[in-house]
Structure 1
């Protein structure tokens, strides 16, 4: 498929070709016409899928050059490194245009940046906190803004920069809003609901690799740590199904904390691998846990974890998603010689869904999302709802829904496609026990 499908100017097609882009990406095919049409969009696509190039091309096509000193485009990024990559992309694709672009990433005084902005600039690329600081010094004029872009929105939320992002968007007034992210969740919607009305949701899934041979993957989406603990208690009550369990967390302190939270009246039932104190239940050798019939559950820290043989353990829980996806992947690759079925169950909060997305890209398939048990005690009184924006129009993978207003498609990850064997038994048992 040629770049002509994007309906770009001849100069941009030449610039794209010179930069090594020969065919359009899926997200570009879905989003470009809407960006050029001035629509507000939320574009959801994995890492390295062409999200940045998509809005750079859109900006270069739509940017109206005038002699105004105020910037016409504001792009918010998560950090300096990402911001510089955006600036480099603009420079690469606008070689033949007189384009003034400036980055705001500093942490010191703002006087120099205020002075430079006063000379006139077309595009500002900034972190939300720095842009807000310069704005409050009356150095960043948003009155002429045509396009407001939030790049890596999930990372901006993860780093706690929702407030300056929303404040800047509201201060900009009426303009086009473009949000690009790897994942969508409640925390992200709480931020963008403050300045976006009826955006179109565009989702692209790109699995570059063939499906990897992995053990059964199940996912629970939970709002916070306390609910994770409650869910673990809830599931582990069934000692017939969960007869031997390994629970992974990220640090030894978290392992100690969780092991104490899961303490049982049955001596030795719950333990920790390599406990921090001599008087805590635990094992120094994982093989001793496997050999002890009364030891049912062990908590293992990813931090400085020894190499352990999970053979013979039917259930693996990732109570916390590892920072390095390779740590997770090393545990879920199916052993072709193993006869028993193994199930991996992951608990993920909104802020961990980005890591889940990267894992799914690596294995070439999505994890199956399970509903939370009806009798689960969810912290702060309410269960997490599906990530649905009340003011959002969603575009299906093949066609656009008729009508406006609220609309949300059921994601493929939520579709039930049960596997036979221990995975099916687990889900059926949970349904019976909690219905």
Structure 2
């Protein structure tokens, strides 16, 4: 497929694209380049490798004539130094107009070198938000003629807590177009960009050609913070006729011990840790010991080298996703068709900042986790530092409607769930 004329790309850019191994447009370019050229604000949501960076590099290079004036017209904000260098490299690959001046800004000892580079002339600035803001406040970065602000990997910008410098830079550049590129959209990202985006078009693309793996059913609960995750776990564990045996994965030993200490107040001997550090903690050396016990909840730390046989475990909960997506994928992949009623249901608890990891897992497995509604009687932890406040849970006999609740009479059951019923339950049923 060749580059269509309707995209209005310059001939030299088309030659550069072809030589760089891009014989034709990807889906994201077909859906966005015309909108960008028309001056519309655009939000692009797509996976890694879908062509997001190349799209805005093309759009930027198309804007410039052969006589740029050396005053910044385009500001590209990315999360870190490595991203700055990667974007600059893509410009270098595709740009044949050597009169265009590109300046890179990122954390480095002192600011004089970067200040001098800006003073010498910069048409395009590629920067981390904090360094761009710092040089703007030193009057080194001129935003008066900015026509286009691009935020790439916006979800990672939010994850690194760079919302404030982004907002200040966007507010300081008047009447310009804004483009946002991200792998996922979530509330924190929306809160960052809403004040300066002007009736943006939303473009979503999916990675093509990924064959779906054969996996156990997967359900996704999106939660605001650690404390609410803890509340949801306890709410599920109150239902001892459905959640008869559960393995919970976390990333660190302190998190495992925090969950053990808090749930242990209520569930008593029903909670254990895999390979505990302390003698007074209930624990098991192997998953097989857990399966043979009366304990209902086993807390395990994610470990790439520690394979656990999860057969015959009705529920596996990823309280935190492992650092390596391959660890998660190995757990959920079916080696052979499960027997009727024996299939394990995987539940993932994710905050906004963990949705990027969820997206990468979905891309790798070729299928989405089924989103689930939160139970009506789940208490949302309002603490600003919920993870640090997780110890402040109500006593078991309070009955005052605080974070944990006693099991409702309506939850009493006289039947067991098959795997199919469990999946439907987690999609539709309100746990309580």
Whether TM-score is above 0.5 comes out as yes
Partner residue of 2:48? 47
Taking structure 1 as the reference length, what is the TM-score of the superposition? 0.87
- Structure 2 residue corresponding to 1:353, chosen from 343, 352, 355: 355
Would the aligned equivalents of 1:264 and 1:270 in 2 still touch at CA under 8 Å?
A: no
Q: Displacement of 1:305 after TM fit? A: 6.3
Shift of 1:373: 0.5
Q: Which string of whole-angstrom CA distances, capped at 9 and with x for unpartnered residues, describes residues 387-432 of structure 1?
A: xxxxxxxxxxxxxxxxxxxxxxxxxxxxxxxxx9524335438855
Taking the TM superposition and a 5 Å limit, the aligned residue runs for 1:8-407 are 8-64=9-65, 68-263=69-264, 267-292=268-293, 294-303=294-303, 306-336=306-336, 338-339=338-339, 340-380=342-382
Segments of structure 1 that go 5 or more residues without pairing to the other structure are 383-419
> Structure 1's 2 and 360: CA in aligned 2 closer, same or farther, altered over 3 A?
same
Q: How many residues align?
A: 397
- Helix, strand or coil at the partner of 1:168: helix
| Aligned CA distance change for structure 1 residues 428 and 108 (closer, same or farther; 3 Å) | same
What is the match of residue 7 of structure 1? 8
Unaligned ranges ≥5, structure 2: 385-416
Name the CA shift for 1:179/1:267 in 2 (closer, same or farther; >3 Å): closer
- Correspondence for 2:398: none
**Paired residues of 1:208 and 1:361 also in contact (CA < 8 A):** no
Against the structure 1 CA distance between its residues 265 and 146, is the aligned structure 2 distance closer, same or farther, given a 3 Å change threshold? closer
Q: Distance in 1 between matches of 2:297 and 2:240?
A: 10
In 2: Cα distance, 1:63 partner to 1:374 partner: 54
Q: Is the 8 A contact 2:43 2:180 kept in 1?
A: yes
TM-score, length of structure 2 as denominator length:
0.88
Q: Say whether the 8 Å CA contact 1:248–1:301 is kept in structure 2.
A: yes
1:97-131 alpha-carbon deviations (Å, 9 max, x no partner): 42110101133221221122111111010101111
SS in 2 for 1:276: coil
Runs of 4+ aligned residues of structure 1 deviating over 4 Å after TM superposition are: 64-67, 264-267, 429-435
Three-state SS of the structure 1 residue aligned to 2:382 is: helix
TM-superposed deviation, 1:268: 2.5
